[in-house]
């Protein structure tokens, strides 16, 4: 299911004409030695079905299998195959598939999932486009101005204004010159001067404490000449007798954070830096590529690719339509938008789904095609998704119509009631002569009694006409002894206590264990219980436990077999059975006790095919009605179109 994976559909086969058939091979993956399920295609010939352990009728042929046909969907074939092989290959012939409402429901579910995926994908891409816009804005805000870059570049020294590495090393060698090894670095010189930062002042102060040198006098006697003293006085503070060598190693130069050597690698990296114009060109190209990438999804720009015929679209994408565009819903009276999703399944078949959005109304239409490449696109008719407002409008209309109908049939007078037979209508009274029942006419002697009634009181028995020839006797009592055999008959009846005990033994609330959707081709023969693909044989089996008690009933005798047997293993071709009970002319088989060694109960119902009478399997003493097995009934909760149809 989306978005983790794409829904997969089996390609349906068109019906073959003039007796033609398709030959199909399916690959079945066994689970614990069993495969159970429906064949992928419909209208399969029973006789053509075969199973092999290798493809294309190779390997070993498998004889142990069950084929059944659901009564509600007789075009389908349910199979159950038994084999130790990991993979089994089923080969069969079919005249083509039958499209069911369930196929449409699955397609609608897939289209709904596709729409959700499109919405999710659009949302993510909107976010990507927003992020690209932000990044482009950042690039625009942070890219260097050409004037600034030119100014900074002008601050650089030209190549002829700087020393090369070799030239710098030579200058250092010149400074070192022929200094002794003990003083050929600044560090060694510093250590030689006791690392005194004011060594000259220290020497000057020390010299000031010495006496002048006088001709003929030694240093110990302060024999400095005036000329010598003058020479010493002219020495700069911190001066020393040092001759810098002509050449010396670069290592004597101490690098700092402000000054240092530039290597060839560093110079090459600097020379390879992008120029402002080059950086701007690359930024512009990146911006345009991002815009074009977003546009390729129909996002971030106005849709200008107008389509003249929606039936001929092949490439997926968003397309603008006009009122004149072919292949739109009949309700499309103006421009709109089509989302087309195409998928090529073969070189000559391209399947597709389309969603149409009108411009001037909030409505959504969908349709699908099995092959866009055929004439007309093979499209189904457009189906409209109902909106909340539309559903409410229809509900309001239905309510109004119901009220109008109720008002139209509401009785307004007594004669319109269903029990008006108890009332006399005015038209009936009009012929009754009402209004002439006066006392002067019917009670002339004024004694309060109709004259004709007085005459009737004196009529003799012989003068009564229409009287019955015989009369029932009047009520009179009899004792039990006066009625022959009554006491013996009463003694044979169940006592209240006995009847109550039997009622108490009945367990209420059983279920029907017969599952019509699992009916198989089963028969009892002298070779054993036969499971075959001959649809004339009809039967059913279920798992049971030793000692359980069952009863089996049917409503009619239309099926010519009504037999029960047991097997140790699951019923399959030529599996032995035992404990057979034959009741072909009975409606019910009671008190069926599961014998030792039995794990399955099998019921043989017919060897003539045809429909099956209603069958009920009850367990124990629990009373059941003829309600189908819960697995055969419609589940609670939301229902599908197939359930309404009974498919």
Read off the pLDDT of residues 293-320 as tens digits, 9 standing for 90 and up: 655 555 445 555 788 888 888 888 888 8
Q: Is the pLDDT of residue 35 over 90?
A: yes
Alpha-carbon dihedral sign for residues 265, 267, 268, 269: positive
Report percent pLDDT > 90 for the chain. 14
* Mean pLDDT to the nearest integer, 612-618: 87
Q: Which domain holds residue 536?
A: 511-627
Of the three residues 361, 389, 417, the one that is the final residue of a domain is 389
Percent of the residues in the chain that have a pLDDT greater than 70, as a whole number: 80
* Domain-embedded: residue 354: yes
Give per-residue pLDDT as tens, 588-601. Answer: 998 899 999 999 99
| Mean pLDDT along residues 484-508 | 71
Mean pLDDT of the chain: 78
Among residues 342, 369, 389, which one ends one of the domains?
389
Q: Give Rg (Cα) of the chain.
A: 56
Specify if 643 maps to a domain.
no
Q: Which residue has the higher pLDDT, 499 or 263?
A: 263
How far CA 436 is from CA of 432, 433, 442, in Å, comes to 10, 7, 10
Within a domain: 463:
no
Cβ–Cβ under 8 Å, residues 529 and 565: yes
C-alpha dist (Å) from residue 484 to 11, 54, 474, 506? 82, 84, 21, 36
Q: Which residue has the tokens 């039997």?
A: 502
Confidence of residue 514 (pLDDT cuts 50, 70, 90): confident
pLDDT per position as a tens digit, 104-124: 887 788 888 888 888 888 888
**pLDDT tier at 647, thresholds 50, 70, 90:** very low
Between 235-239, 373-377, 511-515, the lowest mean confidence (pLDDT) is in 373-377
The CA–CA distances, whole Å, from 299 to 315, 322, 599 equal 16, 20, 64
What tokens does 224 get? 């400095």
In angstroms, rounded to a whole number, what is the distance separating the alpha carbons of residues 212 and 219? Answer: 8
Task: Please return the burial class of 41, using the count of CB atoms within 10 Å of its CB with bins 0-12, 13-18 and 19+.
Answer: buried
More confident residue, 631 or 431: 631
- What CATH number has the domain bearing residue 595? 2.60.120
Residue 373 gets which letter from DSSP? T
Look at residues 99, 133, 149 and tell me which one is the last residue of a structural domain.
99
Lowest mean pLDDT among 102-106, 116-120, 431-435, 559-563: 431-435
Query: pLDDT at position 83, please?
Result: 93
- Domain assignment present for 364: yes
Summarize the confidence of residues 327-343 as an average pLDDT. 80
pLDDT at 84 over 90: yes
Residue 629 has pLDDT above 80, yes or no: no
> Does residue 327 sit within a domain?
yes
Walk across the sheet containing 383-385 and list its strands.
Answer: 317-321, 336-344, 350-358, 364-369, 383-385
What distance in Å separates the CA atoms of residue 625 and residue 629, rounded to the nearest whole number? 11
What pLDDT is stored for residue 589 in this prediction? 92
pLDDT higher than 90, residue 36: yes
- Residue 205 in any domain: the answer is no
Most confident of 23-27, 425-429, 443-447: 23-27
The mean-pLDDT minimum among 80-84, 179-183, 499-503, 586-590 falls in 499-503
pLDDT band at 427 (very low <50, low <70, confident <90, very high): low
Give the pLDDT band (50/70/90) at residue 505: low
Confidence of residue 644 (pLDDT cuts 50, 70, 90): very low
Is 516 in contact with 71 (CB distance < 8 Å)?
Answer: yes
At 38, the pLDDT band (50, 70, 90 cuts) reads: very high
Tokens 């002008």 sit on residue: 154
Does residue 501 sit within a domain?
Answer: no
Residue-wise burial string across 598-632, b where 16 or more C-beta atoms lie within 10 A, e elsewhere: bebbbbbbbbeeeebbebbbbbeeeebeeebbeee
315 Cβ contact list (under 8 Å, min separation 6): 340, 342
Predicted confidence at residue 66, as pLDDT, reads 92
Give the model's pLDDT for residue 327.
83
What is d(CA 62, CA 90) in angstroms, rounded to the nearest whole number? 10
> Over the range 202-212, which residues count as b (16 or more CB within 10 Å of their CB) and which as e?
ebbeeeeeeee
pLDDT band at 58 (very low <50, low <70, confident <90, very high): very high
Query: pLDDT tens-digit profile of 10-32?
Result: 788 888 777 788 899 999 999 99
18: left (phi over 0), alpha (psi -120 to 50) or beta: left
State the pLDDT at residue 544.
Answer: 94
Banded model confidence at residue 645, pLDDT cuts 50, 70, 90 = very low
**Range 522-544 average pLDDT:** 79
- For residue 357, pLDDT beyond 50: yes
Q: What is the pLDDT of residue 1?
A: 45
Residue 124's φ and ψ, nearest 5 degrees, are -65, -40
Mean pLDDT check: name the lowest of 188-192, 261-265, 400-404: 188-192
When comparing pLDDT for 624 and 131, which is higher? 131
Res. 341: pLDDT tops 90? no
3-state SS string for 221-252: HCCCCHHHHHHHHCCCCCCCCCCCCCCCCHHH
Confidence of residue 33 (pLDDT cuts 50, 70, 90): very high
On the question of pLDDT at 88 being above 90, the answer is yes
- Give residue 393's pLDDT: 83
**How far, in Å, CA of 319 to CA of 352, rounded?**
15
The total of structural domains in the chain comes to 3
- 154-171 mean pLDDT: 77
Within a domain: 587? yes
pLDDT over threshold 50, residue 646? no
Distance CA 369, CA 377 (A): 7
Nearest to 307 by CA among 317, 296, 297: 317
């Amino acid at each position: 299911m989306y978005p983790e994976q794409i829904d997969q559909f089996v390609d349906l086969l068109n019906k073959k004409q003039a007796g033609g058939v398709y030959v199909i091979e399916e690959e079945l993956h066994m689970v614990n030695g069993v495969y159970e399920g429906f064949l992928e295609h419909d209208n399969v010939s029973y006789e053509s079905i075969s199973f092999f352990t290798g493809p294309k009728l190779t390997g070993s042929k498998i004889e142990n299998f069950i084929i059944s046909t659901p009564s509600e969907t007789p075009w389908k074939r349910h199979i159950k195959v038994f084999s130790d092989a990991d993979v089994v290959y089923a080969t069969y012939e079919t005249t083509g598939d039958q499209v069911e409402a369930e196929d449409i429901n699955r397609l609608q579910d897939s289209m709904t999932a596709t729409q959700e995926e499109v919405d999710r994908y659009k949302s993510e891409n909107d976010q990507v486009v927003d992020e690209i816009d932000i990044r482009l804005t950042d690039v625009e805000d942070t890219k260097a101005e050409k004037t600034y870059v030119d100014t900074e570049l002008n601050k650089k020294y030209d190549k002829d204004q700087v020393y090369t590495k070799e030239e710098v090393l030579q200058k250092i060698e010149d400074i070192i010159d022929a200094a002794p090894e003990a003083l050929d670095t600044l560090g060694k010189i510093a250590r030689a001067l006791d690392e005194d930062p004011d060594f000259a002042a220290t020497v000057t102060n020390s010299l000031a404490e010495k006496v002048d040198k006088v001709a003929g006098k030694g240093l110990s006697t302060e024999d400095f000449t005036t000329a010598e003293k003058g020479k010493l006085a002219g020495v700069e503070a911190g001066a020393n007798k040092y001759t810098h060598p002509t050449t010396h190693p670069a290592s004597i130069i101490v690098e700092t954070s402000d000054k240092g050597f530039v290597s060839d690698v560093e110079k090459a990296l600097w020379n390879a830096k992008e120029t402002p114009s080059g950086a701007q060109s690359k930024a512009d190209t990146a911006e345009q590529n991002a815009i074009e990438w977003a546009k390729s999804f129909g996002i971030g720009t106005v849709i200008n690719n107008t389509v003249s015929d929606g039936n001929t679209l092949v490439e997926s994408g968003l397309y603008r339509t006009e009122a004149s565009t072919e292949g739109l819903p009949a309700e499309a009276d103006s421009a709109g938008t089509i989302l087309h999703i195409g998928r090529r399944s073969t070189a000559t078949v391209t399947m597709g789904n389309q969603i149409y959005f009108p411009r001037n109304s909030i409505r959504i239409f969908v349709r699908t095609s099995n092959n866009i490449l055929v004439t007309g696109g093979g499209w189904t008719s457009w189906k409209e998704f109902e909106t909340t407002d539309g559903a409410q409008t229809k509900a309001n209309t239905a309510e109004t119509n119901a009220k109008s109908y109720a008002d139209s049939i509401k009785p307004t007078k007594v004669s319109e009631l269903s029990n008006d037979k108890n009332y006399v209508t005015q038209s009936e009274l009009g012929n009754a002569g009402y209004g002439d029942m006066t006392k002067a006419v019917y009670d002339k002697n004024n004694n309060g009694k109709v004259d004709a009634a007085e005459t009737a009181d004196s009529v003799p028995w012989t003068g009564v006409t229409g009287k019955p020839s015989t009369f029932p006797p009047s009520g009179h009592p009899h004792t039990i002894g006066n009625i022959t055999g009554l006491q013996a008959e009463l003694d044979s009846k169940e006592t209240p206590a006995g009847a109550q005990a039997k009622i108490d033994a009945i367990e209420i609330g059983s279920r029907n264990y017969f599952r019509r959707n699992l009916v198989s081709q089963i028969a009892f023969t002298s070779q054993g219980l036969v499971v075959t693909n001959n649809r004339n044989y009809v039967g059913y089996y279920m798992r049971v436990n030793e000692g359980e008690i069952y009863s089996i009933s049917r409503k009619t005798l239309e099926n010519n077999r009504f037999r029960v047997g047991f097997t140790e293993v699951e019923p399959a071709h030529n599996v032995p059975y035992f404990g057979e009970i034959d009741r072909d002319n009975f409606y019910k088989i009671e008190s069926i006790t599961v014998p030792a060694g039995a794990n399955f109960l099998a019921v043989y119902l017919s060897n003539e095919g045809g429909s099956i009478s209603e069958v009920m399997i009850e367990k124990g003493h629990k009373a059941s009605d003829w309600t189908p097995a819960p697995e055969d009934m419609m589940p609670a909760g939301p229902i599908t179109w197939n359930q309404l149809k009974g498919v």
